[in-house]
């Protein structure tokens, strides 16, 4: 079958290890099923894997991809939950110390077929297109948990999103606006500022710009480059939810004094549970939300999508069509 996979890894030139070509069909395992994919989404996770972060070299070649939607063996239209818990784990699978994401231990979704545990399938709402269904499993699920499980905000509160263009950032803006939150964004790019306003942000600011008011919560995925601004932008008692560090995880200042003196909360957040994915799908369908898609490409042209993401050019999700 056709697949996009990591054949090699390079910290500086991630695309040099990407191959798009034939791989064997997935093997059936006990309690698992095979999904024939219609669409799959790209995440920064896939670029990290090519850079050698989170994917040990001895597991190569590995089919990449965490996001996907398709048809299971019984003919049901499904969205795939990418968090695979270890055998016998009960409860929130993101807290399982031995959990993996598809494409870390088991082959991922950038392929014609993928094997997944039966329990990892969520019904695809009829009203959601295949392209939009492919967006939800990772960036959107992460945004849902950051905002609705971990931020501690209620409608009317002001939430700052650092970096306007990424999959998580655009999901945060669309979800937050639909839930009655006042969504503010920062960005280095005027065009992304304009687009963020179009999808529901109330205000857009330059990266690092002083805000007119302090906010109730900050959604952080940029990391080192925006950390001080995130701490400085919060009201006393406010919350930073952090789920990524695209610009690096070593900020020049940790801002410890401001964190304790202003009684800020710093909450780590990773992916979400299957239940949260089900609720996210229902929320998106109920509110008629159409996830912002940067580009749609056939899987055979996956390299083009990876290049856009590695260069930081995207606004929204990159989606691959498969069958």
Ligand X SMILES: NC(=O)c1ccc[n+]([C@@H]2O[C@H](COP(=O)([O-])OP(=O)(O)OC[C@H]3O[C@@H](n4cnc5c(N)ncnc54)[C@H](OP(=O)(O)O)[C@@H]3O)[C@@H](O)[C@H]2O)c1
Asked if 43 is part of the footprint of ligand X (rule: CB under 6 A), the reply reads yes
Q: Which of 129, 207, 232, 301 binds ligand X (CB under 6 A)?
A: 207
Quick note: the x/- pattern for ligand X over 241-260, rule CB under 6 A, is: --xxxxx-------------
Q: C-beta of 56: minimal distance to ligand X in Å? A: 17
Contacts of 13 (CB under 8 A, 6+ apart): none
Question: Which positions from 84 to 123 touch ligand X by CB under 6 A, shown as an x/- string?
Answer: ----------------------------------------
Residue pair 112/36 in contact (Cβ under 8 Å)? The answer is yes
Residue 188 is a binding residue for ligand X (CB under 6 A): yes
The reply on whether position 167 binds ligand X by CB under 6 A is yes
Is 221 an interacting residue with respect to ligand X (CB under 6 A)?
A: yes
* 312 forms part of the interface with ligand X (CB under 6 A): yes
In the complex, minimum distance from the CB of residue 24 to ligand X, in angstroms, rounded to a whole number = 28
- C-alpha angle 124/130/134, rounded to 5°? 80
- Size of interface with ligand X, in residues (CB under 6 A): 33
Of residues 69, 1, 2, 26, the one with CA closest to residue 301: 2
Nearer to ligand X, 234 or 292 (CB): 292
Cβ neighbours of residue 137 under 8 Å, at least 6 residues apart? 41, 66, 67, 68, 79, 80, 81, 82, 109, 277
The two tokens of residue 49 are 């894997």
Interface region with ligand X, contact rule CB under 6 A, candidates 10-18, 113-121, 147-155, 217-225: 217-225
Overall size of the chain counted in residues: 323
Tell me if 235 contacts ligand X by CB under 6 A.
no
192 counts as binding ligand X under rule CB under 6 A? yes
DSSP of 223-271: -TTTHHHHHHHEEEEEEEEE---TT-S--S---HHHHHHTT-EEEE--S
Q: From residue 277, give the alpha-carbon distance in Å to each of 53, 78, 80, 88, 166.
A: 25, 12, 9, 21, 19
Report the interface residues with ligand X, using CB under 6 A: 43-45, 48, 138-139, 142, 163-169, 187-189, 192, 207, 221-222, 225-226, 243-247, 270-271, 309, 312, 314
């Amino acid at each position: 079958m056709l697949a996009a996979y990591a054949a090699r890894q390079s910290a500086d030139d991630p695309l040099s290890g990407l191959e798009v070509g034939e791989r064997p069909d997935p093997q059936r395992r006990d309690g698992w099923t095979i999904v024939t994919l219609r669409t799959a989404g790209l995440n920064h996770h896939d670029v990290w894997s090519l850079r050698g972060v989170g994917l040990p070299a001895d597991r190569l070649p590995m089919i990449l991809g965490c996001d996907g939607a398709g048809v299971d063996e019984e003919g049901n239209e499904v969205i795939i939950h990418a968090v695979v818990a270890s055998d016998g784990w009960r409860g929130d699978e993101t807290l399982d110390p031995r959990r993996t994401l598809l494409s870390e231990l088991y082959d991922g979704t950038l392929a014609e077929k993928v094997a997944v545990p039966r329990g990892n399938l969520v019904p695809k709402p009829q009203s959601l297109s295949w392209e939009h269904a492919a967006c939800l499993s990772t960036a959107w699920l992460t945004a849902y948990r950051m905002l609705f499980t971990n931020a501690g905000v209620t409608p009317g509160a002001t939430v700052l999103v650092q970096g306007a263009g990424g999959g998580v950032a655009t999901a945060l803006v669309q979800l937050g606006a639909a839930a009655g939150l006042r969504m503010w964004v920062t960005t280095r790019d005027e065009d992304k500022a304009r687009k963020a306003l179009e999808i529901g942000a109330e205000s857009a600011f330059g990266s690092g710009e002083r805000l007119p008011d302090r906010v109730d919560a900050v959604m952080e995925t940029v990391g080192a480059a925006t950390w001080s601004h995130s701490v400085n932008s919060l009201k006393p008692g406010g919350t930073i939810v952090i789920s990524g560090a695209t610009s690096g995880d070593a900020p020049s200042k940790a801002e410890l004094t401001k964190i304790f003196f202003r009684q800020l909360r710093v909450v780590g957040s990773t992916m979400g549970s299957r239940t949260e994915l089900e609720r996210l799908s229902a929320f998106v369908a109920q509110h008629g939300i159409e996830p912002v898609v940067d580009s749609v490409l056939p899987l055979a042209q996956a390299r083009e999508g990876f290049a856009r993401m590695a260069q930081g050019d995207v606004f929204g999700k990159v989606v691959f069509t498969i069958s």
